[in-house]
Amino acid sequence: MRPVWFAANGWRPRYRREHLFANQEFAGPAIVEQLDATTVVEPQDRARVDVHGNIIIEIGRSVG
Protein backbone atom coordinates (compact mmCIF):
# COMPACT_ATOMS: atom_id res chain seq x y z
CA MET A 1 0.00 0.00 0.00
CA ARG A 2 1.19 3.51 -0.89
CA PRO A 3 -0.58 6.80 -0.22
CA VAL A 4 -2.21 9.01 -2.86
CA TRP A 5 -3.29 12.64 -2.43
CA PHE A 6 -7.00 13.51 -2.72
CA ALA A 7 -7.43 17.29 -2.56
CA ALA A 8 -10.50 17.20 -0.32
CA ASN A 9 -9.37 14.25 1.81
CA GLY A 10 -5.58 14.45 2.08
CA TRP A 11 -3.35 11.39 1.86
CA ARG A 12 -5.28 8.15 1.34
CA PRO A 13 -4.33 4.53 0.57
CA ARG A 14 -3.29 3.26 -2.83
CA TYR A 15 -3.51 -0.54 -2.97
CA ARG A 16 -1.87 -3.07 -5.27
CA ARG A 17 -4.60 -5.37 -6.57
CA GLU A 18 -2.51 -8.53 -6.25
CA HIS A 19 -2.09 -7.86 -2.51
CA LEU A 20 -5.82 -7.66 -1.76
CA PHE A 21 -7.36 -10.71 -0.10
CA ALA A 22 -10.86 -12.22 0.03
CA ASN A 23 -13.24 -10.40 2.39
CA GLN A 24 -10.94 -7.39 2.73
CA GLU A 25 -12.90 -4.14 3.10
CA PHE A 26 -11.84 -0.52 2.90
CA ALA A 27 -13.46 2.89 2.66
CA GLY A 28 -12.91 5.48 -0.04
CA PRO A 29 -11.30 7.53 -1.16
CA ALA A 30 -8.70 5.03 -2.31
CA ILE A 31 -7.05 3.78 -5.49
CA VAL A 32 -6.47 0.15 -6.49
CA GLU A 33 -3.72 -0.33 -9.08
CA GLN A 34 -3.07 -3.37 -11.23
CA LEU A 35 -1.03 -3.97 -14.37
CA ASP A 36 -3.86 -3.24 -16.81
CA ALA A 37 -6.31 -1.08 -14.83
CA THR A 38 -6.80 1.46 -12.07
CA THR A 39 -9.89 1.47 -9.85
CA VAL A 40 -10.91 4.61 -7.97
CA VAL A 41 -13.00 4.23 -4.84
CA GLU A 42 -14.61 7.62 -4.35
CA PRO A 43 -15.21 9.37 -1.01
CA GLN A 44 -18.32 7.98 0.71
CA ASP A 45 -17.94 4.64 -1.13
CA ARG A 46 -16.99 1.35 0.48
CA ALA A 47 -15.15 -1.50 -1.26
CA ARG A 48 -14.79 -5.17 -0.45
CA VAL A 49 -13.10 -8.06 -2.19
CA ASP A 50 -15.23 -11.16 -2.76
CA VAL A 51 -13.98 -14.76 -2.67
CA HIS A 52 -13.28 -14.63 -6.43
CA GLY A 53 -11.10 -11.50 -6.16
CA ASN A 54 -13.72 -9.10 -7.56
CA ILE A 55 -13.86 -5.63 -6.04
CA ILE A 56 -17.43 -4.81 -5.04
CA ILE A 57 -17.96 -1.07 -4.54
CA GLU A 58 -20.98 0.12 -2.60
CA ILE A 59 -21.70 3.69 -3.66
CA GLY A 60 -22.23 6.09 -0.77
CA ARG A 61 -21.69 3.43 1.92
CA SER A 62 -18.53 4.67 3.65
CA VAL A 63 -18.71 4.77 7.43
CA GLY A 64 -15.89 7.22 7.78
1-60 pLDDT, tens digit each: 677 787 888 888 889 999 999 999 999 999 999 999 999 999 899 999 999 999 999 999
Q: Residue 35: what pLDDT?
A: 93
Map the chain to HEC letters: CEEEEECCCEEEEEEEHHHCCCCCEEECCEEEEECCEEEEECCCCEEEECCCCCEEEECCCCCC
42-59 pLDDT, tens digit each: 989 999 999 999 999 999
Confidence of residue 62 (pLDDT cuts 50, 70, 90): low
Strand partners, 53: none
- Which is it for strands 46-49 and 25-27: parallel, antiparallel or unpaired? antiparallel
Q: What is the dihedral of CA 45, 15, 55, 30, to 10 degrees?
A: 10
Q: Which amino acid is at 31?
A: I
